[in-house]
Amino acid sequence: MKMNHVGIMVGDMDKAVEFYTNALGLQVVMGNTKVEEERETAIGRMCVAVFGEGFKGFNIAHLVTTDGIGVELFEMKERQERHEVDFSRIGIFHFCLQTDDFHGVIERTENFGGKVRMDIMRYHPEDNNKQAKMVYLEDPFGNLFELYSHTYEETYASEYE
């Protein structure tokens, strides 16, 4: 099994594309595209099946990480202003990105309207040979994402406190 893509609801497509490309370094595969509710095309029928009757349409853009994982951005015509995180609800609550430019990404996240949710944490502060760091951030719309300085395997290869 391989990860293919993740879909993220955003409040403003232009601002979202700017954030995900300039702050996080993703590349645009397909720019902002309008999708209307209709049943004449395969895409139209698929969208009705996924979003239900009366979804009113949306804007979509497709981006990709440097390792080829897709990020689908959706700006629904009818939407909330911000994502409200409810940790009591079942479901996906964040995605995680890895970078060699850890502090630069944090700075750009804030510069492009995102938010730092916590202090940077090291998984193994007792061991100077293990420098894996993480932090939770938000995009400009309140979507949570985690940032890692090392691979998943490097981060969890041994126990941590």
CATH of residue 131's domain is 3.10.180.10
pLDDT of residue 160: 52
For residues 94 and 91, give the distance between their C-alpha atoms in angstroms, rounded to a whole number. 9
Burial, 86: exposed, middle or buried (Cβ in 10 Å; 0-12, 13-18, 19+)? exposed
In a domain, 160, yes or no: no
Residue 144 has pLDDT above 90, yes or no: yes
For residues 14 and 141, give the distance between their C-alpha atoms in angstroms, rounded to a whole number. 12
Sequence-ordered list of residues with C-beta below 8 angstroms from that of 36, at least 6 positions apart, any chain = 44, 57
In a domain, 105, yes or no: yes
Say if pTM beats, i.e. exceeds, 0.85.
Answer: yes
Q: Show the domain range for 64.
A: 5-155
User: How many structural domains compose the chain?
Assistant: 1
In a domain, 97, yes or no: yes
Residue 159 has pLDDT above 80, yes or no: no
In a domain, 87, yes or no: yes
Residue 120 has pLDDT above 80, yes or no: yes
**Is 87 in contact with 93 (CB distance < 8 Å)?**
yes
In a domain, 161, yes or no: no
